[in-house]
């Protein structure tokens, strides 16, 4: 496999072409942003944690029948993935109210959501990832109704598996963001699953074990990312 020219650079990852048209190479960076790019910084070795943790989560999900873009973990910072066309919708699953949901709706922070809440946001830095619904998605031709049904079913299945998995590690899965892509006519899970894209609260103490430590300047950011990875590596 040859790493060829860079296709795209996002806030946390770079995507490269490879000599196989079906595969891209993703390189995870240490750069961290929050609040739609307003807060910028870096978390030492975050790229390593997010790459290794995402690969592990994709492997576990594959065993549960959820296909992802992971082809192969290459090294600490790089993975080989299927060359998907990313659907421009961020899918957010919320088990407990916090973050933007609390700010937007005035709902009490930390309240369990029954049923679990699914939200969609348009993937657009220029517009600050605004919330959209199934009608916007259809009218903007972001995805078909059938694709959205598959995405919804996968998101709930992933949530059930991840809730059960993380509770065994003494981590409560509060909320997380998923992205999906099209690959050879199928919808598959893409992007990453990491402390950047999920919120975890430690069972018993409610200590925040995710990017909120960076967003809210809570300290011990690097150590907490490492701690989450260590737990995931026991799975
Ligand atoms: N999230 C993400 N990328 C985004 C927006 C949200 O990974 O661009 C994740 C975030 O880490 C959290 C969940 O999605 O686990 C819900 O985020 P929320 O809308 O509360 O984000 P906030 O605006 O509070 O950062």
Query: How many alpha carbons lie under 13 Å from residue 216 in its C-beta half-sphere?
Result: 10
Sketch out the chain's domains with CATH numbers: 3-82 (3.30.200.20), 87-220 (3.30.470.20)
CA dihedral 80, 10, 150, 102 (to 10 degrees): 130
**225 C-beta neighbours (distance < 10 Å), count:** 26
Query: What local confidence, expressed as pLDDT, does residue 36 receive?
Result: 84
* CA 174 to ligand 1: nearest atom: 15
Residue of 13, 92, 104, 131 with the most ligand 1 atoms within 8 Å of its CB, for mutation: 92
CA of 197 to the centre of ligand 1 (A): 6
Residues 6+ positions from 140 with CB-CB distance below 8 Å: 122, 132
* CA 102 to ligand 1: nearest atom: 20
pTM: 0.96
* CA 129 to ligand 1: nearest atom: 8
Question: Which own/partner contact pairs does 8-11 have at CB distance under 8 Å and 24+ positions apart?
Answer: 11/37
CA of 176 to the centre of ligand 1 (A): 7
Whose tokens are 């029948």? That residue is 65
Query: What local confidence, expressed as pLDDT, does residue 37 receive?
Result: 86
Query: What local confidence, expressed as pLDDT, does residue 109 receive?
Result: 98
CA of 146 to the centre of ligand 1 (A): 25
- Per-residue pLDDT 10s for the chain (235 aa) are 999 999 999 999 999 999 999 999 999 999 999 988 899 999 999 999 999 999 999 999 999 999 999 999 999 999 999 999 999 999 999 999 999 999 999 999 999 999 999 999 999 999 999 999 999 999 999 999 999 999 999 999 999 999 999 999 999 999 999 999 999 999 999 999 999 999 999 999 999 999 999 999 999 999 999 999 999 999 9
Residues 6+ positions from 4 with CB-CB distance below 8 Å: 16, 17, 18, 19
């Amino acid at each position: 496999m040859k790493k060829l020219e860079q296709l795209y650079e996002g806030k946390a990852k770079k995507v490269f072409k490879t000599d196989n048209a079906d595969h891209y190479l993703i390189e995870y960076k240490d750069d961290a942003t929050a609040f739609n790019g307003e807060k910028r910084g870096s978390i030492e070795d975050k790229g390593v944690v997010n790459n290794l943790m995402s690969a592990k989560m994709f492997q576990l999900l594959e065993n549960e029948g959820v296909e992802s873009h992971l082809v192969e973990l290459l090294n600490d910072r790089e993975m080989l993935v299927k060359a998907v066309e990313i659907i421009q919708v961020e899918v957010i699953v919320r088990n407990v109210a916090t973050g933007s949901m609390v700010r937007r709706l005035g709902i009490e922070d930390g309240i369990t959501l029954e049923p679990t809440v699914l939200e969609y946001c348009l993937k657009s830095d220029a517009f600050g990832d605004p919330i959209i619904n199934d009608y916007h998605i259809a009218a903007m031709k972001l995805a078909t109704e059938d694709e959205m049904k598959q995405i919804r079913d996968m998101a709930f299945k992933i949530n059930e598996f991840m809730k059960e998995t993380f509770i065994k590690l003494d981590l409560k899965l509060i909320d997380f963001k998923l992205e999906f892509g099209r690959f050879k006519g199928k919808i598959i899970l893409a992007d990453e699953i990491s402390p950047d894209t999920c919120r975890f609260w430690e069972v018993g103490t409610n200590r925040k074990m995710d990017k909120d430590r960076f967003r809210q300047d809570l300290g011990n950011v690097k150590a907490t990312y490492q701690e989450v990875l260590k737990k995931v590596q026991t799975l």
